[in-house]
Amino acid sequence: MAKHVITMLPGEGTGPEICEAVRAVIDHTGVDITWEYEDIGLDCLKEHGTLLPEKTIKSIAKNKIAIKGPTTTPIGTGHKSANVTLRKMFDLYANVRPAKLIPVLKRPWDKIDILSFRENTEDSYAAIEHMVSDEVAQCLKVITWPGSVRIAEFAFKWAKANGRKKIQCVHKANIMKMTDGLFLEAFREVAKKYPEMESGDIIVDNCSMQLVRNPGQFDCLVLPNLYGDILSDLCAGLVGGLGFAPGANIGDNCAIFEAVHGSAPKYAGMKKVNPSAVLLSGVMMLKWLGETKAAERIEKGVDKVLAEGKHLTYDAGGTASTDEYAQAIIRAMDTL
């Protein structure tokens, strides 16, 4: 039996071709993995009548770890998000999103290395919405004490374990005194247990402005769900876009690693999209599994290919296909 059994969720659109490229790179590390392929997303809806079949749920519940390609969430009406369903079902309460400057992508800043810890299960994502009259819609923003404490504890632990120095709670507690006030109070309570870490808070609108003006000042951010969703994408944009933005959704007993970009259906089958976001999510997954050397080998391979600039995908200014980019990373890994 393989050392690791991982549920692979290729998703739809460009997801399957991205995931094949990612699998080729991860397999090249030699880490002993059995991949269990399962369906998820809109294609799956057509075939099985659901975005998230029971078989997929069982595989994740058994393996407690999965890597996921992009899926599409219908806007306004239609089906629920498969991503949100998974996060809620497996209580993956911590969304971890690193945003680190990639040298080859020319950006106007010298340093960006931000870790976002987004609470992943509460806030206005509790899906409690009502038309309370025919012209008034209401969405409940649910913030709980235990939910706020555990994301703060997760963030402090992760930050400390990874040599981070500073952690800030992002909120709007000056206006939403109950909900964001509770989130901030929980953060401050947890912060008392980590006197060695510099901790503080910042109002979300000011944080947005500061991120754009001077992102190098930020280290770790802890955010409620909605602010985390928006600002972690902003951070991804600062370093080069969603094509390079990995993510992890982590609970106490299960973790799902995924890119945060969409499925880009117009490019499906063209093998031109950048697989870096899913690949770097795979790097996070390998580290989570304790396969640190393999993870670092891939990271170095990616860095080398990006630095050489000969095999870049279109979004990074090159013409390489998804597979050519992945193969270049594999060759680079062999030279390390």
Partner 1 sequence: MSTTTATSGRARRPKKPITLVGVDVYVITEDGIPKFDEYGPFKIEFISNRGTKVWPGYVSPDLMLVNWYRCRFNATRPVTDKDVDAFVGELGKKHQWSAVQKLWNYGDEAGFSKAY
Residue 158, C-beta contacts closer than 8 angstroms, at least 6 positions apart:
94, 96, 115, 117, 164
Residue 197 touching partner 1 (CB under 8 A) = no
Selected binder of partner 1 within 30, 74, 146, 269 (CB under 8 A): 146
Residue 196 touching partner 1 (CB under 8 A) = no
Selected binder of partner 1 within 23, 88, 171, 271 (CB under 8 A): 88
Calpha distance 114→203 (Å, rounded): 17
Selected binder of partner 1 within 57, 152, 279, 332 (CB under 8 A): 57
Nearer to partner 1, 76 or 195 (CB): 76
Residue 129 touching partner 1 (CB under 8 A) = yes
What are the φ/ψ torsions at residue 166 (nearest 5 degrees)?
-135, 140
Is 125 an active-site residue? yes
152 C-beta neighbours (distance < 10 Å), count: 26
Calpha distance 282→275 (Å, rounded): 11
Nearer to partner 1, 5 or 89 (CB): 89
| Euclidean distance between the first and the last CA atom of the chain, given in angstroms as a whole number | 29
What are the φ/ψ torsions at residue 251 (nearest 5 degrees)?
-120, -170
Helix or strand run (H / E) with residue 137: strand 136-139
Nearer to partner 1, 58 or 293 (CB): 58
Residue 121 touching partner 1 (CB under 8 A) = yes
Is 267 an active-site residue? no
Structure tokens at 171: 């909120």
Selected binder of partner 1 within 27, 32, 61, 111 (CB under 8 A): 61
Is 252 an active-site residue? no
DSSP string for residues in 267-306 = GTTS--S--HHHHHHHHHHHHHTT-HHHHHHHHHHHHHHH
Residue 178 touching partner 1 (CB under 8 A) = no
Is 205 an active-site residue? yes
Are 67 and 285 within 8 A, CB to CB?
Answer: yes
What are the φ/ψ torsions at residue 212 (nearest 5 degrees)?
-75, -35
Residues in contact with partner 1, counted by CB under 8 A, come to a total of 31
User: Which span (141-149, 187-195, 280-288, 319-327) binds partner 1, by CB under 8 A?
Assistant: 141-149
Among residues 93, 125, 227, 325, the one annotated as catalytic is 125
Nearer to partner 1, 138 or 217 (CB): 138
Among residues 123, 180, 229, 233, the one annotated as catalytic is 229
Residue 126 touching partner 1 (CB under 8 A) = yes
Nearer to partner 1, 1 or 132 (CB): 132
Residue 79, C-beta contacts closer than 8 angstroms, at least 6 positions apart:
45, 51
Residue 319 touching partner 1 (CB under 8 A) = no
Residue 89 touching partner 1 (CB under 8 A) = yes
Residue 50 touching partner 1 (CB under 8 A) = no
Bridge partner list, 36: 7
Helix or strand run (H / E) with residue 75: none
**Residues at the interface with partner 1 (CB under 8 A):** 57, 61, 80, 84-85, 88-91, 93, 121-122, 125-132, 134-135, 142, 144, 146-147, 150, 251-254
Catalytic residues: 125, 172, 205, 229
